[in-house]
Amino acid sequence: MAIAYTWVIHGLTADASGSVVKVRWNKTGTDENGFSGGFNMEDTLALGEPDSDSYIPFDSLSEADVIAWVQSIVVGLYEQDVNLQIQRQIQKKVDEAGVAEVPMPWVPAPEMPAE
């Protein structure tokens, strides 16, 4: 199953100096048939002090900057778990496609009032 993933940042928490300390994010996967699943999380970041060379002032941040930070910590087993949960959601939707609840054959259909 080929899955295309997208990332979205939903919120930031900053400390008194304006440094981002938490990020709320979502990763969504969509398969080739349009079925999708998602994973939401909030992670704490340890990005360093405002005087470091890699520091980006809050007002200069882009979503791409923050996504890169999140992607740098969503690695290894963490990333595998996120992707597995997304894949399970997609597979459930695939399995349920075209399936509908039907009346039980041993329960009589309700009678319709005569007009």
- Does a structural domain hold residue 115? no
What is the tally of structural domains in the chain?
Answer: 1
pLDDT of amino acid 36: 97
Q: What is the DSSP string of 5-56?
A: EEEEEEEEEE-TTS-EEEEEEEEEEEETTS-EEEEEEEEE-----TTSTT--
Instruction: Give the CA-trace dihedral at 73, 76, 78, 84, to 10 degrees.
Output: 130
- Does a structural domain hold residue 75? yes
- Does a structural domain hold residue 55? yes
- Does a structural domain hold residue 86? yes
- Does a structural domain hold residue 30? yes
pTM of the model: 0.79
- Does a structural domain hold residue 20? yes
pLDDT of amino acid 31: 96
- Does a structural domain hold residue 98? no
Per-residue pLDDT of the chain (115 residues; tens, 9 = 90+): 699 999 999 999 988 888 899 999 999 999 999 999 999 999 998 776 666 777 888 888 999 999 999 999 999 999 999 999 999 999 999 999 888 888 888 988 888 787 7
Supply the range of the domain harboring residue 47.
Answer: 3-91
